Homo-oligomer: A and B are copies of this chain.
C-alpha cells in the first residue's frame, strides 16, 4: 500500500519543506481519521472553498451532496479541484511569539472529479461514505430509495496528485530564548464526542448504539 509518491511542482510543500510528506500511508492515515474536507474550485476566476463530508476507499475520495449544489455542479464539469483535510492536534506555546506554532496534519489532493453514475456503484459509494463517517450506522437505518438516489450526486476524486504536511512535537525556540521566564509546552486539541442527545420522537426501548456511545476517530487505517 505504501508505494512512494513523487510530489509534483504543484504538490511539493514550499513553506517548511521538511514538514512535507509524500507517502500514501501518511496521507491515508490522515484521510481516515478525518471526515470533513474543504473543497476548492473556481468560478469565473473566483475561488470558492466549501466544507463537506467525504469517504475514502483505496486511492479514491468520495464526496456527495444534492444535485442542486454549486460545488457538485462545478466538480461534475471535470474542472480542477483541490480537496484539503486538516486535523488540528494542538497549540505549540513557544517562548517567543515568532516560534509559536500549531501541531496539525493535513492532506491536499489535486485533480478532477468524475460523477459516479451507475446506480449500483453510487449505492456502494454512499455505503462507503456512511461507514467512513459513522462506522456501523448504515445497517441500522432505512436504505436510500430510488428517488433519494436520484437526488444525490456522488463524485469520485482519484488520490493521485497529493501531499501531506505534518507538524508534531514540542516548541522549538531560539537557543537564547530558553532562559526567557515563561511557561512553554503544548496544549493538545482534539475533536471529541459529547453525550448523545436522543431524538424527541425516539421509539420506546431504543438504546444508544455502541458505535455512537464509543464513537472515536482513531480508527485503524482501512488498507
Contacts and interface: CB of A to CB of B under 8 A. Distances in A.
Contact of A187 (B46, B88, B215): B215
Q: Which of A43, A82, A97, A195 has the most CB of B within 10 A?
A: A97
Contact of A88 (B48, B91, B191): B191
Given A14-B69, A201-B178, A50 B108 contact: yes
Copies in the complex: 2
Nearest to A199: B184
A34 to B, nearest CB: 10
A6 B88 CA distance: 33
A interface, how many residues as a size bin? 35 or more
Contacts of A222: none
A18 interface: no
Contacts of A46: 10, 80, 82, 110
Interface in A125-180: 126, 130, 133-134, 137-138, 140-145, 148, 151-152, 170-171, 177-180
A194 to B, nearest CB: 4
Interface stretch (A21-29, A114-122, A205-213): A205-213
Given A187-B196, A188-B193, A141 B108 contact: no
A13 to B, nearest CB: 9
A212 B100 CA distance: 14
Interface of A: 10, 14-16, 36, 38-43, 45-51, 53, 65-66, 68-71, 80-84, 86, 88, 90-91, 93-98, 100, 102, 104, 106, 108, 110, 126, 130, 133-134, 137-138, 140-145, 148, 151-152, 170-171, 177-203, 206-209, 212, 215
Among all A-B residue pairs, the 3 with the closest Cβ atoms: A188-B194, A40-B49, A40-B47
